[in-house]
Structure 1
Amino acid sequence: KRLNTYVVSASIENASIQNLNGLGGWNTSGCKTEYTDMNYTICFCNHLTHFGVLLDLSRTEIDTTNDYVLTLISYAGCGASSLFLGITLVTYLALEKLRRDNPSKILLNLCAALLMVNLIFLVNSWLSSFNKPGLCITVAVLLHYFLLAAFTWMCLESVHMYLALVKVFNVYIPKYIIKFCIAGWGIPAIVITVVLIINKDFYGNGSLSKNNPFSNFCWIQENVAFYISVVAYFFLMFLMNTAMFITVLLQIHSMKSKTQKRSTFWKQGFLRDLKSAFSLMFLLGITWGFVFFAWGAVKIFFMYLFSIFNTLQGFFIFVFHCLMKEDVVKQCRLHFCWGRFRLNNYSGKISCTEFYWSASGATVRSTPRHLDHRSPSQPLEYLNSDGTSSTSSSSDFVPGISLDLRIGKKNSVHWIE
């Protein structure tokens, strides 16, 4: 027999079904029939959620076709980012020389937070399908925490770049990285705790709510909690990161204008500057700002940009901070490669990724004073026992930026250009 009327009511395992679509018509979206006979029917349903749901300001559903495409982009991007973030973490953790300086330690924390965001997002819909309120609340809380932690570490990246490239020697901060870790992991924990104290049921999958776009996704269901604890939090971080982004780029331009001829700057430095700008954009999370334009007629377009760039953020971090970073490539060739690809003798340039570097009797301290664990009264010294001077460069604060370390006579104080 064929059912040729609207659905009036339904019951599945003693659970009542409410808020049917429209007039109660059948909707096959996301489901397909696996097997059917006169006694029962087996269906396979695949309800997933696209990445834009994390910061969807309108919190409304989109059409089925775009939702499906965005979902495919989101899961492919998050899967790729998880892989490359894992490679980045393993590379820096395995090679002790790469993680000695503060920029690398900050990068490691950011990668860890982003990796957790991607992994939790990938399993969220699956865990939501179990319809266990306690499990869904836990998943939503963890996703919320690591998302805020990722935003915070992006902001701390911008603060560090500002101190390293703009302030330089004017500030001294004792226990620098410890304070960053307390802020990076502690501030999000405070926000989550406050939300849980107010009402833990702000989290869930919204399965009992009418026309809820998060009915298959464990996330914040209460709008006020979402706008305050996610949108407002991100907006403050985004404003600070954008200001730092512009300031750092202007400082880079100023530094290069002083050290290079104008003609050389335009002919040889453009691609390097472009690489630096893109690297900063992904490291500081500037691309997350696409969400502020996802309204009205252009919502779908910016949702695509948001999903593509931000699900692939981990991949771009790998490209700019592993694949295109000279020190990382050389250390990998030194320790992981063999045959003609192995680098046997790598003395290297003087690098900001090393606390100490020794060659030809020279001892170099390459960490700026305000990022170093010394008293403010101690000067930054470059000592060379044979009295000669040399010049080297590094690009570890920002990829593509050369920092010249001038080494002079013993006990003389020099500078980083």
Structure 2
Amino acid sequence: HSGPLVFPGLPSTHCTCNPGFISGSKKMFFTFPLEICKDIDECKPPISIYYGLNAECQNIEGSFYCRCVPGYELLSGDARFNNSSENTCHRTTSSKPAKGHTELQQIVNTFKSLLTNQTLWGTGGKQEVASTASSILQNVESKVLEAALRAPGQKIQKVQNSTVAVETRVVSDNCSEERKVFRLHSQMNSVDIHCKDVIQGRPPGPSAVAFISYTSLGNILNATFFEEADEKNPLYLNSQVVSAAVAPRRTASLSQSVTLTFQHLKMNPSSKKTFCVYWKVTEEGGHWSRDGCLLAHVNQSHTICNSTHLSSFAVLMAFTSQEDDPTLHVITCVGLAVSLLCLVLAVLTFLLCRAIQNTSTSLHLQLSLCLLLAHLLFLTAIDRTQPKVLCAVVAGALHYLYLASFTWMLLEGLFLFLTARNLAVVNYASVNKLMKWLRFPVGYGVPAVIVAVSAASRPHLYGTPARCWLRLDQGFIWGFLGPVCCIFSIVNLVFFVSVLWLLKKKLSSLNREVSTIQNTRMLTLKATAQLFILGCTWCLGVLQVGPADRVMAYLFTIVNSLQGFFIFLVYCLLSQQVRNQYRKWFSDVTKSKSKSEIHTLSSKTGPDLKLSEKVGVSPGELVDR
């Protein structure tokens, strides 16, 4: 074993690796006698211990430590420390920043103002943005390398602000160590470059290498600049944009590949497509390209790429699509079909059952109609992505209908709250008057305004390559999720708690009449059902992240596709008045059918009855015969 083993007391037949080591099978406990415990390199991804500025991580067998880079030392004088909170690395030569360090900081601050200039990036077209970005990237590299070469005494320099982070290293010797590789860090990203590719044949004078990370440049040079963009598999930038360059010879070719390690902006991506790309400068401006960039490894937190040349780099990933699961598709279709049937029955009940005709039933009716139309449109047109204009219209209609459903849910919660508040007072007229005035302007007007603003601002984001729904990029999906989260918090957290508190208060202050207790129980049941139907089902969709995303996807699909069934169950089948009406309708149908059968039988047996009177045979005997 490359690392020692510990034999825990319970059970005695299992083994585990010492801290700082991991088994070859990745298991914490194992029984295989030839299992090997390997050292964990805490300085490399996916762990990548953060040690702070002017310091670096040093791995040792079974552990690690941090130390200051050359030219810096700890205030305590110690040679090493354990974590970033103990980092007191300061320059050894002087308490004031060196001239080169100050110059490098000024360069970084100058380009910060350019990168954060909204006017510069917001007024031009795509080609102009690409040209401006290419120019800035090249200028930053040149200025940073020139500053590093003007201060050869400072072997390593690190500066950063909120937008740009830079690390430079100056090489003055002739790469005395064979196979010497430099690792430069910047904002949790790193590059490994061979020393011989920095000095490039030992030119006269020192050589320098620079590694630069841009915090916000990825929002400008996004995935739309990728030359191989595929509408069926939309991509997004999941790393910072970084640049690696050497001087004084600005060569792009290398004798050995450089290794770039990126920390993901969005952790735990389950995308099956990951691309290592570089910024290729062209006459038209530039775009992301994969030429010479190879994917070496990807996990939940980092991506490692190899490149045969130096440039600016990033990582592109495909959006995760769980809709390709055929089981989810079947569950959706079956669940929505059941919901459509139940919603049709619920709508007919609300329209025809006179015993329950009131403001509450009107709200149930509008909610059911919106969900009915939304589910029907979803089943028939969600996959109709061609033509694009029709797909955008379908996406807009679904956006409106689902928002309208949530708005009617909000009105349901408001009415329930007002009803509970006025339970002890005969004041239902004011509640009904308020709801009659509010319901249609709010129920259909508010979602219309939201959809109109969204469509007017970014109409091209309606419809995705795979589905007629809202695109996820540029935060456009919040045109739906924002109102949904607000309504959920109001309805489910405010109204629900308020209703239960009011019901408890009213019940304790009233005489315990049977009717009051029944009303209280019914309102409590509706409040609890509303908590489940109107919010909890949609929360499962928001929780589709992390390791449990697949489980949450199935729960969301099953429960949410059966909303129509839940509405029919709560507001129809569990209502005493509705059940009585169903019995009455069934009884009427049975009587009508019975009368029809008797009429048919009498018409068929009429002549036989007359004959029986003549021959003295009873009707019963005639029927028996």
What's the TM-score once normalised by structure 1's chain length?
0.58
Deviations 1:224-261 (A, max 9, x none): 35333111111100100122112212333344455698
Q: 1:285 to 1:111 in 2, by over 3 A?
A: farther
1:239 aligns with 2:467: no
**What residue ranges of structure 1 are gaps of 5+ in the alignment?**
1-15, 24-57, 207-214, 262-267, 343-417
Deviations 1:50-94 (A, max 9, x none): xxxxxxxx9622395xx2222221111111111100111011112
Where 1:220 maps in the other structure, the secondary structure is: coil
Aligned residue number for residue 248 of structure 1: 499
Deviation at 1:193, TM superposition (A): 0.8
Task: Tell me the amino acid that sits aligned with residue 244 of structure 1.
Answer: F
- Of residues 186, 190, 204 in structure 1, which corresponds to 2:445? 186
Offset at residue 294 of structure 1 (A): 2.0
CA pair 90-162 structure 1, distance change in 2 beyond 3 A: same
Matched, 1:107 2:358: no
**Alpha-carbon spacing, 1:259–1:148, altered in 2? closer, same or farther (3 Å):** same
Tell me the secondary structure at the aligned position of residue 204 of structure 1: coil
Q: 1:137–1:203: 8 Å Cα contact kept in structure 2?
A: yes
Letter in 2 for 1:331: Q
Q: Aligned ranges for residues 167-316 of structure 1 at < 5 Å?
A: 167=422, 169=427, 172=430, 174=433, 176-206=435-465, 215=466, 217-224=467-474, 226-242=476-492, 243-257=494-508, 275-276=525-526, 278-316=528-566
Aligned length: 275
- Name the SS of the counterpart of 1:161 in structure 2: helix
Which residue of the partner structure matches residue 414 of structure 2?
Answer: 159
Looking at CA atoms only, which structure, 1 or 2, has the larger radius of gyration? 2
Q: Give, as a single letter, the amino acid of the residue that structure 2 aligns with 1:119.
A: L
Name the amino acid aligned to 2:460. Answer: D
Please point out which of 363, 376, 399 is paired with 1:144. 399
| Residue 578 (structure 2) pairs with residue 334 (structure 1) | no
Matches of 1:106 and 1:59 in 2, distance apart?
38
Q: Which has the higher contact order (CA 8 A, sep 6+)?
A: 1
Equivalent residue for 2:575? 325
Give distance in 1, aligned partners of 2:422 and 2:459. 43
Distance 1:153-1:205 versus aligned 2 partners, 3 A rule: same
Q: Distance in 2 between the 1:275 and 1:170 partners?
A: 20
Determine the structure 2 residue equivalent to 1:348: none
**1:365-404 map, 5 Å:** none
Q: Which residue of 1 aligns with 2:387?
A: 132
- Kindly state the Cα deviation for residue 285 of structure 1 after the two structures are TM-superposed: 3.2
Q: Secondary structure at the match of 2:587?
A: coil
Question: Would you say the 8 A contact 2:355–2:578 is kept in 1?
Answer: no
Residue 96 of structure 1 is aligned with which of 354, 363, 381?
354
Cα deviation for residue 97 of structure 1 reads: 3.7
CA contact (8 A) 1:195 1:225 kept: no
Listed one character per residue, the Cα deviations across residues 322-358 of structure 1 (whole Å, up to 9, x for unaligned) are: 111111111222235337799xxxxxxxxxxxxxxxx
Give the aligned partner of residue 399 of structure 1. none
Separation in structure 1 between the aligned mates of residue 355 and residue 232 of structure 2, nearest angstrom: 59
**Are the aligned partners of 1:241 and 1:286 in contact in 2 as well (CA < 8 Å)?**
no
Name the CA shift for 1:225/1:142 in 2 (closer, same or farther; >3 Å).
farther
Task: State the distance in 2 between where 1:63 and 1:145 align.
Answer: 22
Compute the RMSD of aligned alpha carbons: 3.6
Q: 1:203 to 1:19 in 2, by over 3 A?
A: closer
How far is the alpha carbon of 1:124 from its aligned partner? 2.3
Contact 1:121–1:143 (Cα < 8 Å) also in 2: yes
The alignment-based identity, stated in percent, is: 27
Q: Distance in 1 between matches of 2:230 and 2:536?
A: 43
Aligned residues of 1:140 and 1:218 also touching (Cα < 8 A) = yes
Unaligned runs of 5+ in 2: 1-228, 234-271, 275-317, 513-517, 593-625
User: How far off is 1:272 after superposition?
Assistant: 7.6
Looking at secondary structure, tell me which structure has more helix per residue.
1
- Structure with the bigger percentage of strand: 2
> Quick one: which amino acid aligns to residue 298 of structure 1?
A
